[in-house]
Amino acid sequence: MQYPILALLALLPWVGGCAALAGKTSDAKANSKKEAKAEATPEPSPLEAAPWNDAIITALEKLPLGGGYATTLVARDALQSAVAWEDGRPALRPALAQPSFCSGATYLVWLVALAQQQKAAQLKLSPEVWRALIVEGQGDGEGVWGRWNANGPGTARLFQETGIGTNFTDIQKAKAGDFLKIFWNDSIGAAEKGHSVIFASTGMEKGEETVSFWSSNLPGGYGNKTVARSKIKRMVFSRLEHPERLESVLDLPPRDSFLSSLEEKSVSPAEAAKVIGLPKL
């Protein structure tokens, strides 16, 4: 069976996108009006605006439904087939990533969103960056995928290292399309029980607060799920804001020793908070 390739981007022309400026003017009167408007409507803080969240939500449409959940070598190999490097260019085939697991699901959505925005000339990433994003069985803390897939705040650590977005813990600030690491127990690291998801909303059911999200979930695989807020011990949100800064992944150390260590040990909330730029977890 032939599967459609969502993105073969390395040979596409690198066209500037939304950062391009149009209609520049040196007219002093026009500039003064702009300054007055800026003073009247201050720029929102990073957690008040989420323009890239829509791209994440749109990318979800490219993911299949169901497909089964597994943390086996079969699921790992399926993800590698879906996020491949072929003939000197990236090839994303979401339909191949079945069965799936949570961190693989959110990583795939992230890549699909980046590919869609690059195709729409809203993002410009070099072929070298795309090569660094490919899944090739990297261990926890190794490369980009190994950081995302690590125990603890792996995705948040990647956001912190590269400056591509903001990490936070206040669910009141969360918006649909934020990446979210859920901790079901109090441990962070080797003894943790966690879940990598894309936040959707909060709600109330039978008088109890709920949290809804998308991920690869037990037992069915890709899809939406709602859980009682009381079942969640800790949450770390990561909001994509500056994907253009992904060029910095080329300068990352090959291995993040902190994340790699979480395969064998657990750490305190204070230690985990420090590496993702937060005062506490």
Residue pLDDT, tens place only, 43-87: 445 567 778 999 999 999 999 999 999 999 999 999 999 999 998
Q: Scan for tokens 């990561």, then name that residue.
A: 238
Residue type, 222: Y
Determine, yes or no, domain membership for 206.
Answer: yes
pLDDT, residue 73, reads 95
pLDDT mean over 163-181: 97
Number of domains present in the structure of the chain? 1
Query: CA 1 to CA 18: how far, in whole Å?
Result: 37
Determine, yes or no, domain membership for 32.
Answer: no
Determine, yes or no, domain membership for 278.
Answer: no
Is the pLDDT at 134 greater than 70, yes or no?
Answer: yes
Is the pLDDT at 232 greater than 80, yes or no?
Answer: yes
CA distances (Å), origin 66, targets 98, 101, 135, 166, 225? 8, 11, 21, 30, 12
Task: Please tell me which residue, 89 or 252, carries the higher pLDDT value.
Answer: 252
Of the candidate ranges 26-35, 51-60, 195-204, the one whose mean pLDDT is the lowest: 26-35
pLDDT, residue 42, reads 46
pLDDT, residue 91, reads 92
Determine, yes or no, domain membership for 194.
Answer: yes
Can you give the residue range of the structural domain that contains 162? Answer: 53-272
Determine, yes or no, domain membership for 208.
Answer: yes
Determine, yes or no, domain membership for 102.
Answer: yes
Determine, yes or no, domain membership for 2.
Answer: no
Query: CA 190 to CA 266: how far, in whole Å?
Result: 5
pLDDT mean over 256-267: 96
88 band by pLDDT with thresholds 50, 70 and 90: confident
CA distances (Å), origin 177, targets 44, 80, 170, 214? 18, 24, 15, 9
pLDDT mean over 250-274: 96
Task: Please tell me which residue, 24 or 169, carries the higher pLDDT value.
Answer: 169
Report pLDDT digits (tens) over 110-120: 999 999 999 99
Share of the chain above pLDDT 90, in %: 80
pLDDT mean over 3-21: 33
Determine, yes or no, domain membership for 144.
Answer: yes
Average pLDDT, rounded, for the chain? 86
E strand or H helix that includes residue 60? none
Query: CA 248 to CA 29: how far, in whole Å?
Result: 39
Query: CA 9 to CA 134: how far, in whole Å?
Result: 13
Q: Are strands 83-86 and 221-228 parallel, antiparallel or unpaired?
A: unpaired
| Inter-residue contact 83 to 63 (CB < 8 Å) | no
